[in-house]
A and B are shown apart, each in its own frame.
Chain A
Amino acid sequence: MSEMTYLQAISDGLRTEMRRDKRVFVIGEDVGVYGGAFKVTLGFQEEFGPWRVIDAPLAETAIVGGATGAAMMGMRPVAEMQFSDFVSCAWDHLVTIAAKQHWRAGTPIPIVLRLPSGGGFSGGPFHSQNPESSFAHIPGLKCVCPSTPEDAKGLLISAIEDPNPVLFFEHKHLYRRIKAEVPEGRYTTPIGKARMHQEGTDVSVVTWGAMVYTAAEASEQLDDVSVEIVDLRTVMPWDKAAVLESVRKTSKVLVLHEDTRTGGFGAEIAATIAEEAFEDLDAPVKRIAAPDTPVPFSPPLEKAFIPQVEDVVEGLRELAAY
């Protein structure tokens, strides 16, 4: 084990796979000489050469469509979108081709898209979004949203190994803020399995990504409420069994996410709980999410947009008192 930031763990996972498997290559904007906008691939081009760490033109369509074609020819592309927001430019290639090719034509598309996502540092409407729900809605795509350095490394390796298109949402606000012990060498973390972040008995919080830490901080402020935090780790597929088990244990649920509320993935979780665990509930399922607006730029506005610790504290109190 060695201590790493979330960002270093992603880098370590990617380097591990590139050393092990010659089919793995990186393509993206400024990923080579510059080492990526966030420096995840710093030093990679020196180690792996310009044809395995490919600086692409500013052309997300060519990057994602190209990764899809290369994957069809037996490669294992890891494409970086400089910000997850820019994946909108490659929607067609991801959703129209990569997501559907196996189902309709029998061709697996083993690509990984690394998507630096999330807000908290005044990135504004085009550098702060959490678009995982949009893609979780598309049959054929997988969506991974790790919160810890250990999971970030293990899930990235699983994503590269996976025979399907996997969107790897790496939260920018965790990159350098979160540091923890990470196992050495190669290991995988299963896609579709939640992680129990914190056990509790009164209220369950179901969340993922940076909101895991918001929930944990809120829980620390509540001496009289025992909070269980289920970190989904992946939203497609999502660990329904782990969520339902926690619901049966606490009977009260808060679904928390940084993405906007309407049609957010939390709605799917809440609906599933209503369908499958209604009799186990002692309170209506509560959702805390961002309001239905674009992500704002100015700090007071952004603070009002991203769910804060105090919002979660209040939500947990309400549920505990119900």
Chain B
Amino acid sequence: MAIAREAEPVGSLHEVKEAGLDREDLLGIYRNMLITRGVEERGHILYKQGKIPGSFYTGRGNEAASVGVATAMGPDDVGTPLHRDMGVHITRGVEPWKIFAQFMGRIDGPARGRDGNVHMADANLGLIAMVSHLPAMLPVATGCALAFRIREEPRVSIGWFGEGASARGDVHECMTLAGTRKLPIVYVCDNNQWAYSTPTYLEYATEHVADRAQAYGFEGVVVDGTDVLAVYREAKRAIEKARAGGGPTLLECLTLRMEGHAVHDDAFYVPKVMFERWAESDPVERYRSWLRANADMTDDEESSIGEQVKALLNEALRRADESSMPEAGDLTDGVYAAPEELETPHHK
């Protein structure tokens, strides 16, 4: 039996307005979801063209979860998005051409070719670059919240993890710390039901990952991760609760990973019927239909947003392709930081 609260879907436009979104915001969310999906689709093409070294990961199916949470963040909030959370980077304002440059190992990618994939972040936008050891970012996010609490700043930290990552001890340790100290943090679990090839029943024995929250002394909420407005509403509620001193929340966004773990993986182990069932609630299409039915999105608006996104991505690809490869001679620079570098945006 579920212990966590199972959130209701969002219904009317009125309810959405109550949650703090006007019509322009709603169209902006749609645009961000389209860019998110577009960046990853174009990334696939770049990979097939042999322009992306190493492997390539996407978050298809997770667009609503990532964009929904990021939309609920305040300007001074920070977070540690992972490899299914491209929508967080897009929503916070990372320029797509820099992401393509990152994919291709170019000098203008946020990691300047030193790291690849979604291992990137723009500190100016309150984001922290992930590592491959996925749950390891949660204690870091918790430390950000600790800094805010020590300084009594009204800022919130968002730590992302997957249901696969939920197995590791980091998650337990930092939730214990955050719970005992009532830190201003929201833990967001992207539950896409597959940790590489491992299904949920081999990953955790409770009904929901969010059921664990009660054991740490805070609230757990499960939300349909394909419903961007429901994700937004629950994330907003959790973030503002944390900001007001109410402590952490564990927000679990339930989705399905619609592709393999990475580009090499055809996900043969996922039952076909599962893909078919979840394809029916594709987050982008679901939201598009909702906007048409509830927010009177017109044909003109829809095609105009689509065209804008297409143009943005075409230009981004062109610009990224012009970016040079990093110089091998710079490899050993920056292993250690210099004192003057402490004045970074994060250190404000």
Footprint of B on A, CB under 8 Å?
A: 25, 27, 51-52, 54, 56-57, 59-62, 64-75, 77, 92-93, 96-97, 100-110, 139-140, 142, 161-164
The residues of A that contact B176 with a CB separation of less than 8 Å are 57, 59, 62
Given contacts A69-B140, A164-B336, contact A110 B342 (CB under 8 A): yes
Q: Is B125 an interface residue (CB 8 A)?
A: no
Give complex CA distance A93, B174 in Å.
12
Is the pair B173, A102 in contact by a Cβ cutoff of 8 Å? Answer: no
Bound CA span A93–B129, Å: 13
Whether the Cβ atoms of B143 and A67 lie closer than 8 Å is yes
Q: How far is the CA of A70 from the CA of B174 in the complex (A)?
A: 13
A75 and B147 in contact, given A108-B344, A110-B342, A163-B339 (Cβ under 8 angstroms): yes
Establish whether residues A68 and B336, one from each chain, have CB atoms under 8 Å apart when the complex forms. no
| B111 interface residue per 8 A CB criterion | yes
Show 15 residue pairs from A and B whose CB-CB distance is below 8 angstroms, ordered by the A residue. A57-B176, A61-B170, A66-B142, A66-B143, A66-B174, A72-B143, A72-B147, A73-B78, A77-B143, A97-B140, A102-B334, A104-B111, A105-B128, A105-B129, A108-B342
Give the complex CA separation of A66 and B143 in angstroms.
4
Question: Contact between A104 and B129 (Cβ–Cβ < 8 Å)?
Answer: yes
Q: Which residues of B contact A69 (CB under 8 A)?
A: 128, 139-147, 157
Is residue B335 within 8 Å, beta carbon to beta carbon, of the partner chain?
yes
Q: Is the CB of B133 within 8 A of A96?
A: yes
Q: Which of B115, B138, B347 contacts A105 (CB 8 A)?
A: B115
Smallest Cβ-Cβ distance to A52: which chain B residue: B150
Q: A52-B150, A164-B336 are known contacts. Are A106 and B140 too (CB-CB below 8 A)?
A: no
Looking at the assembled complex, report how far the CB atom of A11 sits from the nearest CB atom of chain B, in whole angstroms.
21
Whether the pair A62, B139 counts as a contact (CB closer than 8 A) is yes
CB pair A101 B129 closer than 8 Å: yes
Q: How far is the CA of A8 from the CA of B142 in the complex (A)?
A: 32
B177 engages A62 (CB within 8 Å): yes
Question: Which secondary structure characterizes the binding site on chain B?
Answer: helix
Please tell me if the beta carbons of A62 and B173 are within 8 angstroms of each other in the complex: yes
Interface string of B327-348 (1 = CB under 8 A from A): 0000000111111011010111
Q: Which of A56, A92, A103 contacts B177 (CB 8 A)?
A: A56
B227 to chain A, nearest CB (A): 30
CA distance A102 to B136 in the complex (A): 17
**Counting CB contacts under 8 A, is B148 at the interface?**
yes
Nearest residue in A to B159 (C-beta to C-beta)? A69
What residues of chain A lie closer than 8 Å to B129, measured between beta carbons? 101, 104-105, 107
Which residues from A are CB-within-8-Å of B115? Answer: 104-105
Chain B residues near A108 (CB, 8 Å)?
Answer: 337, 341-342, 344, 347
The answer to whether B337 and A163 touch across the interface, beta carbons within 8 angstroms, is: yes
B337/A102 in contact, CB under 8 A: yes
* A102 closest partner in B (C-beta): B337
Partner of B142, one of A62, A75, A97, A103: A62
Distance between A80 CB and nearest chain B CB, rounded to angstroms: 15
Minimal Cβ-Cβ distance residue in A for B180: A57
Within 8 Å of chain A (Cβ to Cβ): is B131?
yes
Specify which of B133, B146, B174 lies most central, judged by the most chain A CB atoms within 10 Å of its CB. Answer: B146
Chain A hits for B177, CB < 8 A: 56-57, 59, 62, 66
Residues in B with CB closer than 8 Å to A106 are 123, 334, 341, 344
Tell me the minimal C-beta distance from A23 to chain B in angstroms: 9
Q: How far is the CA of A42 from the CA of B110 in the complex (A)?
A: 44
Among B147, B170, B339, point to the contact of A74 (Cβ < 8 A): B147
Residues from chain B with Cβ under 8 Å of A64 in the complex: 139
Q: B114 interface residue, CB < 8 Å from A?
A: yes
**Bound state CA distance, A27 and B145, in angstroms?**
14
Would A57 and B173 count as touching, CB distance under 8 A? yes
Which of B138, B151, B346 meets A72, CB within 8 Å?
B346
Q: Is B169 an interface residue (CB 8 A)?
A: yes
Bound Cα distance from A96 to B119, whole angstroms: 13
How far, in angstroms, from A280 to B131 measured CA to CA in the complex? 46
- Bound-state CA distance A72–B129 (Å) is 11
- Complex CA gap A162/B150 in Å reads 21
> Complex formed: what's the CA distance from A225 to B121 in Å?
59
Q: Given A75-B150, A93-B139 in contact, is the A65-B170 Cβ separation under 8 Å?
A: yes
Set of chain B residues within 8 Å of A102, measured between Cβ atoms = 334-337, 341
Least CB distance from A237 to B in Å reads 9
Give Cα distance in the complex from A100 to B348, angstroms.
Answer: 21
In whole angstroms, how far apart are the Cα atoms of A70 and B131 in the complex?
A: 17
For the complex of A and B, list the 10 residue pairs with the smallest distance between their C-beta atoms, beginning with the closest: A69-B143, A65-B139, A108-B337, A66-B143, A73-B147, A59-B173, A105-B129, A62-B173, A69-B140, A74-B347
Which residue in chain A gives the minimum CB-CB distance to B169?
A61
A107 CA to B337 CA in the complex, in Å?
8
Flag whether B69 is at the interface (Cβ < 8 A).
no
Q: Which residue of chain A lies nearest to B176 when distances are taken between CB atoms in the complex?
A: A57
Interface residues of B in 125-173 (CB under 8 A from A): 128-129, 131-133, 136-151, 157, 169-170, 173
Complex Cα gap A303–B338 (Å)? 42
B78 nearest CB across to chain A (Å):
7
Most buried by A among B137, B173, B334: B173
Q: How far is the CA of A161 from the CA of B150 in the complex (A)?
A: 20
Q: How many angstroms between the C-alpha atoms of A108 and B334 in the bound complex? A: 10
What are the residues of chain A within 8 A of B114 when measuring CB–CB?
A: 103-104
Contact B147 A70 (CB under 8 A): yes
Q: How far is the CA of A20 from the CA of B337 in the complex (A)?
A: 23
Q: Nearest-CB distance from A244 to chain B (Å)?
A: 21
Given A59-B173, A103-B334, A103-B335, are A70 and B143 also a contact pair (CB < 8 Å)?
Answer: yes
Which residues of the other chain, B, contact A71 by a CB distance below 8 angstroms? 143
Q: Are the C-beta atoms of B335 and A140 separated by less than 8 Å?
A: yes
Closest to B145 in A: A69
The complex places the Cα of A108 from the Cα of B87 at a distance, in Å, of 26
Task: Kindly identify which residue among B132, B173, B180, B344 contacts A107, using a CB–CB cutoff of 8 Å.
Answer: B344
The minimal Cβ–Cβ distance linking A189 to chain B, given in whole angstroms, is: 16
Name the distance in Å between B194's Cβ and chain A's nearest Cβ.
23
